[in-house]
Amino acid sequence: MGFGIRVFAVAAAVLAGVSLTTAPAEATGDHGRYLALGDSVAFGYRPGAVTPPSDYLNPANFRGYAEKYAALRGLRLANASCPGETTASMLRAGAQSNGCENSLGSPAGYRTAFPLHVAYPGTQIDYAVAFLRAHRDTRLVTLTIGANDLFLCQDTTPDHCTSSFPAALEQVGRNLAAILGAVRANYRGELVLVSYYSLDYRNAAQVSQVKALDALLSRVTRRYHGAVADGFTAFRLASLRSGGDPCAAGLLIALPGGGCDVHPTAAGHRVLAAALAVAAR
């Protein structure tokens, strides 16, 4: 077992023993505050095919890597993430999201129907700035964002984001720089990007696109003196015994009709939290 595998294995073993059954959405801790930002992965979202409709009325039913890590470190968590958030909608009210503030062809989104972990008007970055100004004891900010921009590119371009992919990536990079610039203007503490995983490590084309997105996100994050929690490698290592298939490894939510959703299971979130534990100080 290599060094990287040992580190992830130890972190995952510790996190597996963390109970979250009593942790509220804004988790109470004694060691400072933790602000989680991003999309459905950061939110802990589960799709309707495996989730009772009533669960969406209580955001505490959705727990992901942020809740696991906050419980492990005794941090008071404020999770501002929104399912379907894009880098554009995170910055600008009314910008196209992939189901957070609005959806393709519809003004409706998750926020218009269901509560988030924390309630706020305006954009997610507006909340983040206000939070950081009000809570100088914040010790950690994490972020997972960008994949929904590419999903929208796939749904709105004639070539399904093939030749359009570089331009879409470039726009994600510009938006992420604006997001992190706003964070850093109000916060000098630990900042960690939790990078994306592949849905299938046997699919070379899919792996290539995820690696390109993660590389861009990582470059911009490091420019703003942030660290990277390597979700891509963590999922790959956890999928080795299943031949590189995170679905078969139980890291992605299984769907009743077969196959898996794009969102992590509790086990998948433990893997991401382990990657965060490796990256964070």
Lookup: tokens for 93? 């009210």
What's the pLDDT at 31?
A: 78
What's the pLDDT at 6?
A: 46
What's the pLDDT at 2?
A: 47
In this prediction the pTM is 0.91
The structural domain count of the chain equals 1
- Taking the C-alpha atoms of residue 77 and residue 66, their distance in angstroms, rounded to an integer, is 8
Cβ pair 265, 252 in contact under 8 A: yes
Lookup: tokens for 44? 């802990």
| CATH (domain of 194) | 3.40.50.1110
Lookup: tokens for 268? 């998948």
Write the CA distances from 260 to 147, 241, 253, 255, 274, integer angstroms: 17, 17, 5, 5, 22
Write the CA distances from 77 to 48, 126, 179, 281, integer angstroms: 25, 17, 20, 17
What's the pLDDT at 234?
A: 98
Residue 113 buriedness (CB in 10 A; 0-12 / 13-18 / 19+): exposed
- Taking the C-alpha atoms of residue 243 and residue 246, their distance in angstroms, rounded to an integer, is 9
Cβ pair 137, 29 in contact under 8 A: no
pLDDT along the chain (281 residues), means of 10: 46 46 45 96 98 98 98 97 98 97 96 97 98 97 98 95 96 98 98 98 96 98 98 98 98 97 98 97 81
List the domain range (segments joined by +) for residue 8. 3-279
What's the pLDDT at 32?
A: 93
What's the pLDDT at 17?
A: 47
What's the pLDDT at 281?
A: 81
